[in-house]
Structure 1
Amino acid sequence: MTEIRNDWTKEEIEKIYNQPILELIYQAATVHREFNDPSEVQVCTLLSVKTGGCPEDCAYCPQAARYHTDVKVHKLLPTEQVLESARIAKENGSTRFCMGAAWREVRDNRDFDRVLDMVKGINELDMEVCCTLGMLTESQAQKLKEAGLYAYNHNLDTSEEHYDDIISTRTYDDRLDTIGNVRKAKISVCSGGIIGLGEQHEDRVGMLHTLATMEEHPESVPVNALVPVPGTPLEKQPKVSVWEMVRMIATARITMPKAMVRLSAGRVRMNQEEQALCFMAGANSIFAGDKLLTTPNPEVNEDAELFQTLNLKPRKAFKNGEPAVEFQQIPGAN
């Protein structure tokens, strides 16, 4: 029986990460099967409810106001439009609906009140509802919990050592404080990072070490591959290889066996075989829909074909025990 540990050393994680790739995949697949049903993948939908105009300087992000990108700024969407998007997502097989707003931090104002109404409405659809709204105080986290928020996403992005090369407008401790406030409100934590930011392998190990040594592991760990956007400082970064994604996913799975390891941004640049390797290595969650906030994502029908080819099924929502809506069958798919 694999032990759930929170006392990993960086050296132990580095040793796991650097094993021969086939041995790493085998080890991760074994742990995955011990704690999860490998035929289940949670399908999530991410909607940008407020886009662009962000005052932060995250070097990868096209929503930063200081960069000249093609992102069209829009204010907070109408509540009913967001709820309709959630209904469509549920019909297409999603059991978690995530709302992202390009804010540095949550402010106690009418926009936050409207987000709380959105949370309540999506909660009534029997979907897990998640938000990523920037930094959050303890009282704001409590308000979200009372509205029915199931999970809060706040990524570390990279290691503490590499962090200042990517972002200067908030600190690593700011991120950890927000995660702590989410925990205090008894909201599920979604926290991972991005690879391909010019970091070293040691930075990837360092980020996983921070996550895997938290008092409680995040319930969800997104692993993103940078999608370079023209106009951002990282626009010329090379594509992350599938083997790098597999190493991250497998190491996350071994060190945090019960977490939902989310194959997130960058999936649009992977073929079915590459995604299959990620699932084999322990990924058991994806985002569906044609966009992740502002970056491209595979369309729903492509994911339906992928699920049929690999005999995967959408995992049901945690809250109510009802089965997830299955993807529509595609004529001629395996």
Structure 2
Amino acid sequence: MTLIRNNWTKQEIESIYNKPVLELIYDAATVHRQFHEASEVQVCTLLSVKTGGCPEDCAYCPQAARYHTEVKVQKLMEVEEVIGKALEAKEAGSTRFCMGAAWREVRDNRDFDKVLEMVKGVSTMGMEVCCTLGMLSPEQAQKLKDAGLYAYNHNLDTSEEFYNDIITTRNYGDRLETLENVRSAKISVCSGGIIGMGEKEGDRIGMLHTLATLPEHPESVPVNALVPVEGTPLEDQEKVSVWEMVRMIATARIIMPKAMVRLSAGRVRMTLEEQALCFMAGANSIFAGDKLLTTPNPGYVQDKEMFQILQLSPRPSHKENLAKIPVL
């Protein structure tokens, strides 16, 4: 019987991560079937509602103002336009709609008021509405909750030890504090990271350890492979192999069984067969649409074909996990 645990040690996670890969996939697939419908994959859409001009220095991000990339700064979109995009996403099969703004933190101003209106509008469509807006105070988290926000994304990105190699304009504690504020407002937590940024295997294990030892596991764990962008400090990083992605996904599935493990950025560089391996290892969510904020992503038509070939069905929105598994 699989137990929900929040007391994992790094050594335990490391031993899972380093299992022979076929054994690891089998173990993860077994856990996955205890908690989820194996043939269901949630389709999500991520829209950049305010693009570029961010004061942060995240080494992977083309939206940082200090890097010279092809991303053009765009002001916050109008509410009606965002509602229209959400409707398009729903009609294309998405059941979760996430809005991202290139802000360091949320400020109490007219732009935030507009985002609250966007949340209210999308939440009436029956979709899970998610935001990723940077750091958040307890009061702002509560305002988002009151507007109908279902989930908030704030990735840890990597381990605490490697964090300063990637970002210097905020610290790891800021990330964890925002997650705590989101949890306190009773908003679903979405938090994961990126691999392929020059981190060591121990950093990947460290990030998973931080997530798996939070007081409550995130309901959603995105696993991203870096998509290098010209003009950013990480533009020359090598492509992450599918086996690295599989190890991350499978380990996340085993140590956080109830979480939605999201196969996120980097799918555009993966074959259908490689994506199938990730689903076998426990991934049960993808982001659809030709862009993930500003980086390329497979289009809806490609994904529809993949679902047909693999005989996958879209997971309904707001589907609660009813598996009665004891907590340790």
Report TM bin, short chain: over 0.9
For the residues of structure 2 that align with 1:157 and 1:224, how far apart are their CA atoms?
Answer: 9
Residue 148 of structure 2 corresponds to: 148
Partner residue, 1:183? 183
Matched residue of 2:166: which SS?
A: coil
Counterpart-to-counterpart distance in 2, 1:290 and 1:83: 18
| SS class of match (2:198) | coil
1:109 counterpart = 2:121: no
SS in 2 for 1:164: helix
Could you tell me which residue of structure 2 aligns to residue 169 of structure 1?
Answer: 169
Hey, what does 2:200 align to over in structure 1?
200
Alignment-mate amino acid for residue 173 of structure 2: D
- What is the match of residue 57 of structure 1? 57
Deviations along 1:157-182, one digit per CA (max 9) or x if unpaired, are 00000000000000000000000000
2:245 aligned with 1:245: yes
Return the letter of the residue paired with 2:304.
Answer: A
The match for 1:254 is 254
Tell me the amino acid that sits aligned with residue 118 of structure 2.
Answer: M
Matched residue SS, 2:88: helix
Give the match for residue 41 of structure 1: 41
Query: What residue in structure 1 maps to residue 67 of structure 2?
Result: 67
Q: Secondary structure at the match of 2:42?
A: strand
State the partner residue of 1:328.
Answer: none
Detail structure 1 runs of 4+ shifted over 3 Å in the superposition: none
**3-state DSSP class of the match of 1:165?**
helix
Write the deviation string for residues 255-295 of structure 1: whole angstroms up to 9, x where unpaired.
00000000000000001000000000000000000000000
Offset of residue 191 of structure 1: 0.0
> What's the TM-score once normalised by structure 1's chain length?
0.95
Q: Which runs of 5+ in 1 are unaligned?
A: 321-334
Please give the alpha-carbon distance, in whole angstroms, between the structure 2 residues aligned to 1:273 and 1:123.
Answer: 35
How many percent identity over aligned positions? 78
> SS of the residue aligned with 1:57?
coil
Please say if residues 128 and 319 of structure 1, whose CA atoms lie closer than 8 Å, have aligned partners that are also in contact. Answer: no
The answer for the alignment partner of 2:4 in structure 1 is 4
* Displacement after TM superposition at 1:45 (Å): 0.1
> Which residue pairs with 1:326 in the alignment?
none
In the alignment, the residues of structure 2 paired with residue 180 and residue 4 of structure 1 have an alpha-carbon distance, to the nearest angstrom, of 20
Q: Give the CA RMSD over aligned residues.
A: 1.0
Distance 1:298 1:49, change over 3 A: same
How far apart, CA to CA, are the structure 1 residues paired with 2:259 and 2:228? Answer: 27
Q: Give the C-alpha shift of residue 319 in structure 1.
A: 6.5
Supply the distance in 2 between the matched residues of 1:20 and 1:199 (Cα, whole angstroms): 21
Aligned-residue offset at 1:126: 0.8
CA distance in 2 between counterparts of 1:319 and 1:129 reads 13
Secondary structure, aligned partner of 2:70:
coil
- Number of the residue aligned with 1:233: 233
Are the counterparts in 2 of residues 95 and 127 from structure 1 also a CA contact under 8 Å? Answer: yes
* Contact persistence 1:61–1:232 (CA under 8 A): yes
TM-score by length of 2: 0.97
* Matched residue type, 1:165: D
SS at match of 1:47: strand
For 1:228 and 1:216, the matched residues in 2 are separated by 32
Counterpart residue type for residue 91 of structure 2: E
Distance 2:195 2:124 in 1: 35
Q: CA deviation at 1:149?
A: 0.1
Per-residue CA deviations over 1:119-156 (Å, capped at 9, x if unaligned) read: 00000111100000000000000000000000000000
Query: 8 Å contact 1:126–1:319 — kept in the other structure?
Result: no
1:306 equivalent to 2:288? Answer no
The answer to whether residue 134 in structure 2 is matched with residue 134 in structure 1 is yes
**Using the alignment, how far apart are the partners of 2:67 and 2:312 within structure 1?**
40
Report the equivalent of 1:120: 120
Provide the C-alpha distance between the structure 1 equivalents of 2:82 and 2:268, rounded to a whole number of angstroms: 24
Shift of 1:12: 0.0
What is the rounded CA distance, in whole Å, between the counterparts of 2:56 and 2:4 in structure 1?
A: 36
Per-residue deviation, residues 47-74 of structure 1 (Å, max 9, x unmatched): 0000000000000000000000000110
Separation of aligned partners in 2, 1:219 and 1:268: 25
**Cα drift, residue 218 of structure 1:** 0.1
Cα distance 1:186–1:209, how it changes in 2: closer, same or farther (>3 A)? Answer: same
Amino acid at match of 1:220: S
Report the 3-state secondary structure (helix = DSSP H, G, I; strand = E; otherwise coil) of the residue aligned with 2:139: helix
Structure 2: gaps spanning 5 or more residues: 321-328
The reply to whether residue 14 of structure 1 matches residue 40 of structure 2 is: no
